[in-house]
Amino acid sequence: MDDGVIRELARYLEVDVEEVEKRFSADPMKALAEKWNKDAPASSEEVDEFYRSSEDYLYDLTLWNMTPQFKFHIDPLMNYQRKKILDFGGGIGSLSIALAMRHNNLVYCDINPILRAFASQRFEDRLLDIKIEESLDDVKNAGFDIIAAVDVLEHIHSDALEGVLQKFYDLLKPGGFLYHRSCFGCDPNHPMHYDHSQLFRRIAHRVGLIERANGDLVKSGKICSVVVAIPTLSGQFDLPEFHNLLGLDLPPDAQISTNPHKPADQSRNELIENTNSEWLLFMDDDVIVPPDSYRRLVGWGKKVISGVSMKRAGTPEPQMYRFSHAEGRGTYYMPLVQEFIEFVKRHKADLTRAQASYISVPITMDELLEVDGVGMDCILIHRSVLDDIEPPWFQFTKGTRSGEDFYLCRKIQQAGHKIWVDPGLLCGHKHMTVRNFRHLQCWAMGDTYPWDLEEV
């Protein structure tokens, strides 16, 4: 157990640690279930009163906040800094503390006065300036970037759900989003959980919250969640690329935008200027990507993140690079061949079973790679990153071998942002064949494979 939060709770209750642990062992989850079944709250008002008066949540939530599952639920939010965030149903304040420590502007909200008092003590102990409210009606200043509702919405009565979601919509700024982790559906340990799994999505859409592929709900308005931006010199797609584009798993409000018959840097700059989406997914017209590319990339919570494709001509190196320096050559972009080979070896079983040349391999967060440069074959960029950069975003650099994609990468880093690669999102790059990770495997092993004659 986390001795720190246990000592905090003991001090709040004015008892010793042994007494707190004794109360933990009395099974507060079971006590809450029994109280719910005994009180049998039927109306929205009765449900509110149950949560307002239940002291056992102090112990139940303290235990819950110490579990790996709770950490897993809140971990994607740890990527955000300097955002205005409402922690709805904030419980003992653990999420608010973690987000405030990352320089976010927090408003904590919970209906239970005992939880509010304990959370307030924890905030004061850390000298955190977190505003505390009892209900959504008390939250007056709108314009939130994020509303977090972690393990909360399943506790809302069906009659009150639309009002809560409407209030969320009113409090969010355009493009702001609701981050929720909800366990809809009751069981013997949680008879108080409502099953809103179908109702929730319908109501959210009705009030104007558009669901992303990763489950976040974005306040709709003049902007959409994502634009797939594809510069195409010819203005046409070959049939395989067209079918690939149709098969992408995108949110309902997604748009696909092309800007043909122009140089790549001009085309990409105009695509940025002419869209106002939260995210831009840049793709090239000669790349085939896995259907879940957007959902997968946005799910990592990174502002700039790319999949991997192989260089189209010459040796099939992965198009992900870090700066290197050599005598007589200066600083240059070095492809991460060895790092990618090691990744392929770790996931040999998944790759052996792969039927297509473009696949998604399950990976963990610590397998993401921070890089200095990538191509624009399949890269997701948040609007705030582009807003931090003085145009032009793309530009060919005359007299160098550096293209418009590296130009953007340098400006992204100069603006203080990091560039990440998901090495498990493996794309195909069309030349005379569709180049993929198998070509790299053969090349890395010294195979004299005739790259331009057939596909591995």
Model confidence pLDDT, tens digit, residues 270-312: 988 887 788 999 998 888 898 999 989 998 989 999 999 888 7
Q: What is the pLDDT of residues 141-196, one digit of tens each?
A: 889 999 999 999 999 999 999 999 999 999 999 889 999 999 998 888 999 999 99
CATH 3.90.550.40 fits 226-444, yes or no: yes
Q: What is the pTM of this model?
A: 0.53
Sign, Cα dihedral of 426, 213, 217, 190: negative
Q: Over 80: is that where the pLDDT of 384 sits?
A: yes
Q: Which sequence spans correspond to the domains of the chain?
A: 3-219, 226-444
Q: What is the largest CA-CA distance in the chain?
A: 80
- Give CA–CA dist 81/104, Å, rounded: 5
User: What's the confidence (pLDDT) of residue 400?
Assistant: 63
Q: What is the pLDDT of residues 298-350, one digit of tens each?
A: 989 899 999 998 887 777 788 999 988 777 666 778 999 889 888 888 887 77
Q: What is the mean pLDDT of residues 129-143?
A: 93
Q: According to the per-residue pLDDT averaged within each range, which of 130-139, 194-203, 215-224, 264-273 is highest?
A: 130-139
Q: Over 70: is that where the pLDDT of 76 sits?
A: yes
Q: Over 50: is that where the pLDDT of 449 sits?
A: no
CA-nearest of 195, 176, 179 to 187 is: 195
Per-residue three-class SS string for the chain: CCHHHHHHHHHHHCCCHHHHHHHHHCCHHHHHHHHHHHHCCCCHHHHHHHHHHCCCHHHHHHHHHCCHHHHHHHHHHHHCCCCEEEEECCCCCHHHHHHHCCCCEEEEECCCHHHHHHHHHHHHHCCCCCEEECCHHHCCCCCEEEEEEECCHHHCCHHHHHHHHHHHHHHEEEEEEEEEECCCCCECCECCCCCCCCHHHHHHHHHCEEECCCCCEEECCCCCCEEEEECCCCCCCCHHHHHHHHCCCCCCCCEEEECCCCCHHHHHHHHHHCCCCCEEEEECCCEECCCCHHHHHHHCCCCEEEEECECCCCCCCECEEEEEEECCCEEEEEECHHHHHHHHHHCHHHHHHCCCCCEECCCCHHHCEEECEECCCEEEEEHHHHHCCCCCCCCCCCCCCCCHHHHHHHHHHHCCCCEEEEEEEECEEECCCEECHHHHHHHHCCCCCCCCCCCC
Is 25 in contact with 59 (CB distance < 8 Å)?
A: no
User: How high does pLDDT run on average in the chain?
Assistant: 86
User: What's the confidence (pLDDT) of residue 448?
Assistant: 47
User: What's the confidence (pLDDT) of residue 445?
Assistant: 60
User: What's the confidence (pLDDT) of residue 258?
Assistant: 86
Q: Over 80: is that where the pLDDT of 20 sits?
A: yes
> 199-203, 296-300, 333-337, 435-439 — which is least confidently predicted?
435-439
| CATH number belonging to domain 3-219 | 3.40.50.150
Give percent of the chain above pLDDT 90: 53
Q: What is the mean pLDDT of residues 46-73?
A: 93
